[in-house]
Amino acid sequence: MPSPDPTYVPTPADKFTFGLWTVGNPGRDPFGEPTRPRLDPVDIVRRLAGLGAWGVNLHDNDLVPIDATASERDAIVSTFRAALAETGLCVPMATTNLFSDPVFRDGAFTAPDAAVRAYALQKTLHAIDLGVELGASTYVFWGGREGAEVDAAKDPIEAIKRFREAMNFLCAYVKDQRYGLRFALEAKPNEPRGDIYFPTTGAYLGFIETLDHPEMVGVNPEVAHEHMAGLNICHAVAQALDAGKLFHIDLNDQKAGRFDQDLRFGSESIKALFFLVKLLEDSGYDGPRHFDAHAYRSESPEGVWDFARGNMRTYLILKDKVRRFGEDAEIQSLLEEIHTSSGEGPPTSYSRASMESLKSRTFDRQVLAAKTLPYERLDQLVVDLLLGVR
């Protein structure tokens, strides 16, 4: 057995978190039954703590079965909290399963059946109580069933209104209860619905501003979901950061043009995820680094923990590459050359004087167009860096 690698070993200071449903994924998929036994949440907590994780996240029913009695619920929560206390793991984020039970087959907050919408809201009230009881400070909403296959059946504007009503009601609940909780909305373009409402992080950023309490609500971008939409995860996260709305993030990986693979972080898109880690670290993002991913269906029960280690290891390797990027004289010199201006920039704010001055300026387009842009060299240096030859 080779001695454990002393480098890139995670500690709670790295704020790595996993959902119970991630390492607990039993390997079921639309075409096959589970390939691994169900894991007890307490065992998950202990194994994650042993790997250096900081926290664990959960849907309500990852911990408490949907038909549990109140006393059964309390006993389960008590046992789970004892494991948290024993290991020091925290629960930074909680969420509601509004997608597994058949009752949500046609939506939850946006379901055509008003009684289903009422049940979804009630279930979320109880799940929020559970999350707060476990210490969560962020509450995620992923509307996996909020969508359609048959657009003839549903008014998309009505769906947006229903989702807004639910968000406004739940924000009011959190304020009424004086819970220290913020909401994070997670977008996905499709699967399991043919189309899911609010398909991208950008769509949610626009929606948040229409809420009664937008200050309480941010986003939870997921790598695989933005990639499914053919988008650049870095640019989505950058817009969330710029808006002060990056309340949480789901890290994983994804091959282009495929179903939601929730692959181990860094197993596919090394360069894209290098720039995502660079953005998170350079921006000073202080939230959880949550891996919403799962091991390959073919993986053994013990191999799941190779999967867990791999997520954190790759993040730390890429974080070290970010440091090297910043210290690389040639890379930094090329960046300085690229960002050196050929002349005075535009006015940063409007005034009659700045406008008239700009109108009166002359520009030599040939000179501006002749500036060299050494992107081939720069990108090759990044490739060298990531391949470990620099």
- CB nearer to ligand DIG: pick between 220 and 314: 220
Query: Which residues in this chain contact Mn ion in the complex, by CB under 5 A?
Result: 222, 224, 250, 260, 262, 292
Beta strands at 182-186 and 195-196: parallel, antiparallel or unpaired: unpaired
Partner that binds at residue 95, options ligand DIG, Mn ion, none, CB closer than 5 to 8 Å by kind: ligand DIG
The answer to the question of residue 186 lying near ligand DIG (CB under 6 A) is yes
Contact map string, positions 246 to 265, toward ligand DIG, x by CB under 6 A? ----x---------------
Residue 299 binds: one of Mn ion, ligand DIG, none (C-beta under 5 to 8 A by kind):
none
Residue 312, token pair as written in the block: 């954190």
Question: Closest Cα to residue 201, out of 237, 165, 166?
Answer: 237
Q: What span, in angstroms and rounded, lies between the C-alpha atoms of 292 and 223? A: 9
249 binds, options Mn ion, ligand DIG, none, Cβ within 5 to 8 A by partner type: none
Under the binding rule (CB under 6 A), the answer on residue 299 touching ligand DIG is no
CA distance 146 to 164: 12
Per-residue contact string for residues 113-142; x = within reach of ligand DIG by CB under 6 A: ---------------------------x-x
- What angle, 0 to 180 degrees and rounded to 10, lies between the N-to-C axes of helices 303-327 and 41-51? 40
Interaction between residue 226 and ligand DIG (CB under 6 A): no
Output 222 or 299, the one with its CB closest to Mn ion: 222
Residue closest to ligand DIG when measured from CB atoms: 142
Q: Which of 277, 282, 204, 192 is nearest to 239 (CA)?
A: 204
Residues 28-57 that bind ligand DIG (CB under 6 A): none
Contact 47, 88 (CB under 8 A): no
3-class state of residue 361 by DSSP: coil
Shortest gap between Cβ of 59 and ligand DIG (angstroms)? 6
- The listed partner (Mn ion, ligand DIG, none) that binds 140, CB under 5 to 8 Å by sort, is ligand DIG
Would you say 265 and 307 are in contact if contact means Cβ atoms under 8 Å apart?
no
Contacts 24+ apart (CB under 8 A), 200-203: 200/225, 200/226, 200/229, 200/231, 200/236, 201/226, 201/236, 201/237, 201/239, 201/240, 202/236, 202/239
CA distances from 383 to 332, 373, 375 (A): 15, 18, 12
**Residue 344 CB, nearest approach to Mn ion (Å):** 45
In the complex, minimum distance from the CB of residue 303 to Mn ion, in angstroms, rounded to a whole number: 20
Spot the catalytic one: 5, 14, 40, 59: 59
The residue among 61 and 314 lying less far from ligand DIG, judged by its C-beta, is 61
CB of 222 to ligand DIG, least distance (A): 5
Q: How far is the CB of 28 from ligand DIG (least distance, A)?
A: 14
Q: Which of 17, 25, 61, 95 binds ligand DIG (CB under 6 A)?
A: 95
Distance in angstroms (rounded) separating the CA atoms of residues 15 and 57:
12
Catalytic residue among 60, 62, 253, 292: 62
Where on the phi/psi map is residue 37: left (φ > 0), alpha (ψ -120 to 50), or beta? Answer: beta
Q: CB-wise, 262 or 328, nearer to Mn ion? A: 262
Q: Is 59 a catalytic residue?
A: yes
Residue 21 or residue 183: which is nearer to ligand DIG going by CB? Answer: 21
Which CB atom, from 166 or from 229, has the smaller least distance to Mn ion? 229
Handedness of CA 67, 77, 248, 290 (dihedral sign): negative
Could you give the CA distance from residue 260 to residue 190 in angstroms, rounded to a whole number? Answer: 9
Sign of the CA dihedral with 145 first, then 149, 155, and 160 last: positive
| Phi, psi (deg, nearest 5) at residue 138 | -125, 140
Closest to Mn ion by CB, 220 or 321: 220
Q: Which residues are catalytic?
A: 59, 62
- Give contact residues for ligand DIG (rule: CB under 6 A): 19, 21, 95, 140, 142, 186, 222, 250, 292
